[in-house]
Structure 1
């Protein structure tokens, strides 16, 4: 069934078509939200709210762009206008984070059977936390342009700016992250002493790694070892793979259909 058919049937109350339509974008939106917000709980909540906005505004979709582009615009607008998250309220900066990375408050060696899994958790957590040092404008630009590799003309449409302005935002975000990682990250620059496997004990001690409740590694749909490129920002972030949402949208979807909030 084509996208146009799915949309038309959804607007006429076809629950299965609406589920299929929403499922086609749900994971993509969750991945943007998680990278933007860092907190899985916040990302789950934001994804639900964004999906509700998509469903209740579906009749406004005029097919002037691709459906996914339209949903990304809704997601981006929602995320950039959220009130400050708990993580953002800490006013994390690159300078603060650099000092934190140079502080080892626990033994460097970790040799239990879950070593590889926790190292992945540490690496993913660390690199996503770095994104929080960017302001929201530059953060969303880096996510769209450098991680998701969406073309600047499409990203400009998503973020309601011009292609040249969007490219400037991506360039600035890459410069800020690149400078930080070049001076601190051992994955990006092997000359740096910091390594993910030497931070596992510290992560556990300070609560960033919760062994019984991993935030990132347990629910990776893919984890692409071969995609990691040293000295490449895009390679390091694409190495995360794809995150999977734990929550279900079916209950809210059925309620929206019952209330006829998506009807033409």
Structure 2
């Protein structure tokens, strides 16, 4: 039997203080937690800091895990509580709105942009960075519901349990988040709508000038299995509201940074 991607035997050994088992628990959860933090917080520094704090909480609270759900579900509950309750994360929230985001996207568009040497890589980085950033326009509560439901594609029972909501309340929250994201992308994202003013090629010069995208640096798209052209084709192949779903699904999963893995592994050398 397994609990998430970690066997119940491993969890039992970890609860008893077995260091190798504790390392295996971390290995089974760290990418999941970092992916959640990145999709919700977007900023890599905030996501990394939150991930480390969440994983430490998971280790220190592991003795309370009773196996009534998958280990990953229990871990996501801890992660969600931390993200919702950490005042420093709330204080760093930009207060971004879809109206503000749309105005920014449509500022500095170039009708006939010159091609950069690494054009394909830059367009993919811009596509992914913009797709992630637009979720910051949702409230934190709506963002979490959207990420669990439409990005991670969790079933409603698991997602509502993680968010500690009734299934009906979760469905209502997800529906509202989904409607807001669809309304924005269908009007302002050139990958979703041919009528949108913004498109990645037209937006790229302004993104490079502002420093939001840098030639030779592709932090969000590194290792992506889908490039800009393929993503554009995939999104175009589906209809209506599925275009927004496909846009968000075309963002690659995020791996927990090695420095966080290393710090947590070293921490296990000392008693919790």
TM-score (norm 2): 0.87
Contact kept in structure 2, 1:183 and 1:189, CA below 8 Å: yes
Aligned to 2:264: 252
Contact kept in structure 1, 2:109 and 2:198, CA below 8 Å: no
Point out where structure 1 has 5 or more consecutive residues left out of the alignment. Answer: none
Asked if 1:131 corresponds to 2:135, the answer is yes
Asked if 1:229 corresponds to 2:239, the answer is no
- 1:107 CA drift (Å): 7.4
Aligned to 1:142: 146
Check 1:36–1:120 CA distance in 2 against 1; reply closer, same or farther (3 A cut): same
Q: How does 1:48-197 map to 2 (within 5 A)?
A: 48-83=52-87, 85=89, 89-104=93-108, 109-197=113-201
* Number of residue equivalences: 259
Counterpart-to-counterpart distance in 1, 2:214 and 2:141: 30
Aligned to 1:8: 12
Counterpart of 1:57 in 2: which secondary structure?
helix
- 1:79 CA drift (Å): 1.1
Counterpart of 1:74 in 2: which secondary structure?
helix
Counterpart-to-counterpart distance in 2, 1:217 and 1:13: 38
Point out where structure 2 has 5 or more consecutive residues left out of the alignment. Answer: none
Describe the superposition over 1:44-72 as per-residue Cα deviations: whole angstroms up to 9, x where unpaired: 11111111111111000000101010011
TM-score (norm 1): 0.90
Counterpart-to-counterpart distance in 1, 2:246 and 2:50: 26
Counterpart-to-counterpart distance in 2, 1:97 and 1:41: 21
Which moved further from structure 2: 138-147 or 222-231?
Answer: 222-231
Aligned to 2:249: 238
Counterpart-to-counterpart distance in 1, 2:16 and 2:39: 34
Check 1:86–1:12 CA distance in 2 against 1; reply closer, same or farther (3 A cut): closer
Q: Aligned-residue CA RMSD in angstroms?
A: 2.3
Aligned to 2:39: 35
Of 23, 32, 37 in structure 1, the residue corresponding to residue 27 of structure 2 is: 23
- 1:16 CA drift (Å): 2.0
Counterpart of 1:188 in 2: which secondary structure?
coil
Counterpart-to-counterpart distance in 2, 1:206 and 1:128: 18
Counterpart-to-counterpart distance in 2, 1:33 and 1:152: 20
Counterpart-to-counterpart distance in 1, 2:110 and 2:197: 16
- 1:19 CA drift (Å): 1.4
- 1:223 CA drift (Å): 3.5
Which moved further from structure 2: 119-128 or 8-17?
Answer: 8-17
